[in-house]
Chains A and B, each alone.
Chain A
């Protein structure tokens, strides 16, 4: 029983890390908050849904396509939404980024409802519902796949950030954009790429959502909330800590469900969210 709870906590925790990692990257690099992050998660889910229904592409195999499409959408979002924010003084940008992306939610959610109707959608792949016995614990096949995908994506992201010049320039810009620009790094281009990656990561998380749960046009806020809680656990803008933070949230949520019942699942995260902001605003895992 306990083992089963821990296993579900780990699965959901790793999935939460995938949902939040894009938002953490965006905030870490640009110091902008993208309230519409959850809506991009949902759009990624719909793209997978479409690829599966129209072209018969397996959702796991659709992830590379989702990443590319969402990356391009991310570039457009930077150009239309974030780039104009540079006109404001540095202290006003964060607040304005929240306002403008809040408006973006309304646009995106209604666009999604227009394109895919407001019915709840999910993907039923041939292996959906199959369960693997692992040391006497039941693990859904799709969850195992999502964990594998998350490890792969976070691993590739880590390699990209630490091994390539572009990745290093993103890290440098996040730490000190003035010093980075003095080295010849084009800050606007760095922001553009970071925004593309952030939205692409949200899209990949959407594929996981449509496999493990379901999507509907107005469900983005739920994933935004999860991302915010993970970010506060990790410390704002910390990318490496997101993985641990997701795990912590997943495990604590499952523990809460076990002790208090399923109705209180979301409450656990939100209460911890407030407590951490009061007691340890730099994040659970920040040094």
Chain B
């Protein structure tokens, strides 16, 4: 479904990604793990069209993405939940969700989708008339996920959605993501610092380091391999327990 091949991305003169290749198949949850500055978020921003690869291929359902504007890529069925809490603060929860269904295809079915999102996360329905800026961090993150779902994406990109949330909230959020995946079979590409949680959720994983993919494999294998855990996430896995 999503195919990235030998992609190089630069920030000015600085090389941020070096020959990154990865694939996400339809219906899979794939996670991208690695330390800070390893290039995980850069990879997602390249898929969305915020960054242009200097060379390489980014393809979605057979179509090349590299020349398209961000909103065109969104229209093709890719939605991203960003790492900062970027709700539209001055708008109500309902207005945020409604904007999620901005695109023609999703707009027609927005009432059904809204019911579904509210069922998934009743707190959003309770607070639907409230300004999004007044929500707690966890609720804002849930709103961002809900807003992305409103566009009925084929591929959902999640960028460090656990960042800054308490362990309990993170657990709930991941449970919701799992439910979404189970009920819709939505394809998900997940970038996470919380390696343990991410590996438990995902089917497959890629490990990134200094802008390059250094390992890939089944998520379950990473979880059970002590050597790999110590090498790449040493301290982090301890913290997760």
Which residues from chain A sit less than 8 Å from chain B, CB to CB? 162, 165, 168-169, 171-172, 175-176, 178-187
Chain B 63-85 per-residue mask, 1 if CB under 8 angstroms from chain A, else 0: 00000011100110001101000
User: With A175-B90, A176-B88 given, is the CB distance from A182 to B70 under 8 Å?
Assistant: yes
Cα distance A172–B102 when bound, in Å? 11
Binds A, one of B1-9, B91-99, B117-125, B192-200: B91-99
Within 8 A of A (CB), among B195-218: none
The interface residues of chain A, by DSSP majority, are classed as: helix
Can you give 10 A-B contacts (C-beta < 8 A)? A168-B91, A168-B98, A169-B102, A172-B88, A172-B99, A175-B91, A176-B86, A176-B88, A182-B82, A185-B71
- Are B89 and A184 interface neighbours, CB within 8 A? no
Total interface residues on B, using CB and 8 Å? 24
Cα distance A179–B86 when bound, in Å? 7
Which residues from chain B sit less than 8 Å from chain A, CB to CB? 48, 50, 69-71, 74-75, 79-80, 82, 86, 88-91, 95, 98-100, 102-103, 107, 147, 151
Other than the given A183-B100, A184-B103, 18 more pairs (CB < 8 A) read A165-B107, A169-B99, A169-B102, A171-B88, A171-B91, A172-B88, A172-B99, A175-B90, A179-B82, A179-B88, A181-B70, A181-B71, A181-B74, A182-B70, A183-B102, A183-B151, A184-B102, A187-B71
Minimum CB–CB distance from A186 to chain B (whole Å) comes to: 5
6 tightest A-B CB contacts, nearest first: A184-B74, A184-B103, A181-B70, A179-B86, A186-B71, A175-B88
Return the chain A residue nearest B132 by Cβ. Answer: A175
- Give every chain A residue within 8 A of B100 (Cβ-Cβ): 183
Query: Within the complex, which residue of B50, B89, B98, B107 is in contact with A178, where a contact is CB–CB below 8 Å?
Result: B50
Minimum CB–CB distance from A92 to chain B (whole Å) comes to: 15
Most buried by B among A165, A180, A183: A183
Minimum CB–CB distance from A251 to chain B (whole Å) comes to: 27
- Give every chain B residue within 8 A of A175 (Cβ-Cβ): 88-91
- Give every chain A residue within 8 A of B48 (Cβ-Cβ): 182
Minimum CB–CB distance from B98 to chain A (whole Å) comes to: 7
Minimum CB–CB distance from A157 to chain B (whole Å) comes to: 16
- Are B71 and A184 interface neighbours, CB within 8 A? yes
